[in-house]
Amino acid sequence: MNEKKEFKPYIPAEKITPEITFTSIVMGILLAVIFGAANAYLGLRVGMTVSASIPAAVIAMGVIRVVMRKNSILESNVVQTIGSAGESLAAGAIFTLPALFLWAAEGKMDKPGIIEITLIALLGGLLGVFFMVPLRNALIVKEHGVLPYPEGTACAEVLLAGEEGGANATTVFAGMGFAALFKFVIDGLKVVPSEVSLRIKNFNGEIGTQIYPAVMSVGYICGPRISSYMFAGGVLSWMVLIPIIVLFGEQLVLYPGTVTIGEIFAADGASGIWGSYIRYIGAGALAAGGIISLVKSLPLIITTFRDALKSMKGSGSTDMSRTAKDLPMPIVLCAIVVLTLLVWLVPAIPVSLIGAIIVVIFGFFFATVSSRMVGLVGSSNNPVSGMAIATLLIATVILKVTGDSGIHGMQGAIAIGSIICIVAAISGDTSQDLKTGYLLGSTPRKQQIGEVIGVIASALAIGATLYLLDTAWGFGSEELGAPQATLMKMIIEGVMENNLPWGLVFIGVCIAIVVEILGIPVLPFAIGVYLPVQLNACIMVGGLVRLAFDKMKKNEEEKKEITSDGILFCSGMIAGEGLVGILLAVFAIFGLDKVIDLSQYLNLSPVVSNIGSLVVFALVIVSLLKFSVWKKRKK
């Protein structure tokens, strides 16, 4: 009576249809590189990335089914599997690896080579995939009906709704096109300023907004709640903390500043105070937020790891059908051993034997935790940054105690943290993709091969992307703040050199604790404290647009369609802006940015410039309305 009903996928196990084909590999690699590069650019500016799984699924279905007239849902699934790997690998890489470039800019070390960046990303990505293979039967198959895997299930629904694939793919491409145009006008031609700021007389705070499509899109995708937490953190920094610091400390020279606070404010305004002091308060809040989220997840993490290991004991499936075939276990185990040895032995990677052991232990632990947690709460709530912070703290202390200190120890710590961060991100993405495949009836082995292809393509692209962006603007600059990597750098330096302004850091820690006590999610609030308020305000606008959509007086089905179209359009805008951002970086390297810069010929007053910026921002919002609320739909 209590026997569990056997699950039947959409494509039966006995039916053979195309999966890994030349078309699916080429399309998947293209999407992996595009979404990987776009998310790298976004993450370095905003400090967070967005999932590429659903837009990748929509584009795959749109091209394969509608354009190429092929009825092959499993082929589309492989495209989505390969394509989504780029975003996950980029997320893990950009949270940590730019710290190496920041140390190089300070003269502490030589700039890391593309080979070093690529190898760290590649080894972390492959370990993430291979760690997940023995977990598939335990978490995806045995826990079906228990672990929902929200993104994986959503991707399966998108692919199953194939007849709508053409229209939805058009929405993604339209978002890419519009954002590319807006980005080129704002940052290429520089017809209008990229942000509007307001300063109140006799008050030292500052408020304003950026007008970038991708930043607004982040707010729409995250929703009004998360956007409001980030904006609240920005308001605290720029409208409370900065005015207090200037008001009471105008005549003081406060470390790490080298001149009086009044002189910093007179030279650079509120931005100067933010760069000298608020960043450290924000870093303290972010570090505390990451650790708090990890501690809160600890009971779940422990039970997750225990249950996964327990499930694995009997996970040696005797099912020999197509839908049960994973990569052979001997190959997987050999691959993990070889990859671990490479982490230790490859000269380009500054990791000792102890570091390699840390990578294996923490890597498998966090891969297991990540795979199960995304099944419960989705990829967006996976505490990857908390895992990275915990790993960095432990790894840095172990390296220092064992005598691997100084810049070599710091390089080793960031390499270990990068690999673990990428492992956690890729494991979560792989498990979502395998869930999609399980529902559709894909061959797991072919999906796992697809993940490996996606990781290799993304790793080759991420090294070049980071080098390109650093050469054009430099990490830590106004264009690329690299907030997460700067935080990781501060943590390692704080342990190794003990040279942080700890008073400012502990203020941030205490703010995070107060926010947690009030029941507000700490991480989005802490990111808001750390980032410029103009960026947070732009995200808030996107959140308000989403709130307006949610409050529309339409039936639930219509509202769901409008919201879904808005998310697809915004995903396209993030990709479009990211690609043009990388194109502008190429222009900057070759000096073409000055050739196309029209601001040198436009002598507009500040008022007219601000009005122009607001008009462009309004057009960004109108374009979103056009492809969501005002979109013509088939009855």
Q: What is the pLDDT of residue 569?
A: 92
Q: Which residue has the tokens 């436009």?
A: 602
Q: How far apart are CA 507 and CA 248, in angstroms?
A: 16
**Cα distances (angstroms) measured from residue 254 to each of 104, 349, 503:** 26, 38, 11
Determine the pLDDT at residue 381. Answer: 57
pTM for this predicted structure:
0.84
State the amino acid at position 626 in one-letter form.
K
Predicted confidence band of residue 165 (pLDDT cuts 50, 70, 90): very low
**Beta bridge mates, 209:** 196
Could you tell me what percent of the chain has a pLDDT over 90?
46
- pLDDT tens by residue, 273-291: 988 899 889 888 888 887 8
Asked if residues 130 and 339 have their Cβ atoms less than 8 Å apart, the reply is yes
Question: At 48, is the pLDDT very low, low, confident or very high (cuts 50, 70, 90)?
Answer: confident
Contact 522, 381 (CB under 8 A): no
Q: What would the mean pLDDT of 208-226 be, rounded to a whole number?
A: 92
Q: What is the pLDDT of residue 286?
A: 82
pLDDT of residue 143: 79
What is the percentage of the chain residues whose pLDDT exceeds 70? 93
Both tokens of residue 77? 């699934």
Q: What mean pLDDT do residues 449-476 have?
A: 93
The per-residue pLDDT for range 340-370, each reduced to its tens digit, is 999 999 988 989 899 999 999 888 888 887 8
The confidence score (pLDDT) of residue 514 equals 96
Q: Could you report the per-residue pLDDT of 55-93, keeping only the tens digit for each? A: 888 888 778 876 777 777 899 899 999 999 988 899 889
Burial class (CB in 10 A: 0-12, 13-18, 19+), 604: middle
- pLDDT at position 2: 44
Q: What is the pLDDT of residues 179-206, one digit of tens each?
A: 999 999 999 999 999 999 888 888 999 9
**pLDDT at 589 > cutoff 80:** yes
The mean pLDDT of 462-467, rounded to a whole number, is 92
For the cut 90, the answer to whether the pLDDT of residue 447 exceeds it is: yes
Average pLDDT, the chain: 87
- Tell me what pLDDT residue 120 has: 95
pLDDT of residue 255: 84
| Dihedral in degrees, nearest 10, Cα atoms 188, 194, 36, 65 | -80
Q: Which residue has the tokens 């308000």?
A: 544
Q: Are 293 and 383 in contact (CB under 8 A)?
A: yes
pLDDT in tens, 469-525: 999 999 988 788 888 888 889 889 888 887 778 899 899 999 999 999 999 988 889
CA–CA separation, 543 and 165 (whole Å): 26
Residue 194's pLDDT is 92
Sign of CA dihedral 113, 114, 116, 117: positive
